[in-house]
Amino acid sequence: MKKKILGFLAVFLACFGVLLTNVEAKGKVTIYLFSQTTCPHCREAKAFFKELKKDSKYKDMFELRDLTVDVKGHEEYQVLFEKAAAKMGDEADGVPYYVIGNKSFTKGYSSKYNDEIKAAIEEAYNLDNFVSPIADIVGDNGEILYENVGNNILAPIIVLVIALAIIGGTIYFARQSGEEEKKDEKKNATKEEKKETIVKDEEQEIPKEEKVEEEEKESEPKEIETVKVEKKSTPTKKTTTKSTSNKTTKKTTTAKKSTTTKKAPAKKTTTTKTATTKKRNTTKK
């Protein structure tokens, strides 16, 4: 979950960073202004550019580089002025002289040029990787004016809103992550409780099994005794069978005797019959 929070914050900051720096990413248009300290029209031109720096539309589109040609110690600015005018196809015969993009303004400054100046700024700004024709001549010479004028009250408000959004997002996702962690802890606790209950049940089942085994062991000798008793009782059955067999043999012998005794007189009759027949036969002779 922490990785998700960090990823969200990174995307959030990247989006706002793009919104805040997309103007600067294109590159500001450099306006080169050649002026004199005693020139009233130069002061008017500088005042206009100062107000334009406060405009939310144009403030990040340009930077103003001033080269005051009558300042002591910067006599080379006059030479740069002549070279720049020559490069643009103009004559260095008056100030203010300023170059915006590919366009030079040679007739000084007046409020009637305001729209033309804004259009020149927008045209140069919308060109990809634009470089002024006199950039290599002027270089880093001159002073950049009014760069911090555009930092009005909106900038800190925007920064504050972004900071609050970031803080609120981190708190929100931190709470969600905390709730998820609590849920995970509860799940783990329930799982551990279930495991403990299962272990307890298994521990309770083990003595039951032992009791059953003990009961089986106790029941085994009783079965052996019954078997022994049965073995002891078998001879009695044998004796009874013997006695019954003796009785049957006695009966059979008595029956035989009776049969033999009954047959004996039958033989006697036959002998007597034969004797009488013999006597009869003898008498006939």
Statement: residue 270 has pLDDT above 50: no
In whole angstroms, what is the distance from residue 177 CA to residue 139 CA?
54
Least confident stretch, 170-179, 216-225, 236-245: 236-245
pTM exceeds 0.85, yes or no: no
Tens of pLDDT, residues 34-73? 999 999 999 999 999 999 999 999 999 999 999 999 999 9
Comparing 134-138, 181-185, 188-192, 226-230, the range with the smallest average pLDDT is 226-230
- Domain positions in the chain: 2-166, 195-231
Residue 265: which pLDDT band, with cuts at 50, 70 and 90?
very low
Residue 154 belongs to what H/E stretch? helix 154-284
CATH of domain 2-166: 3.40.30.10
Is pLDDT larger for residue 180 or for residue 155?
180
DSSP string, 81-114: HHHHHHHHT----SS-EEEETTEEE-S---GGGH
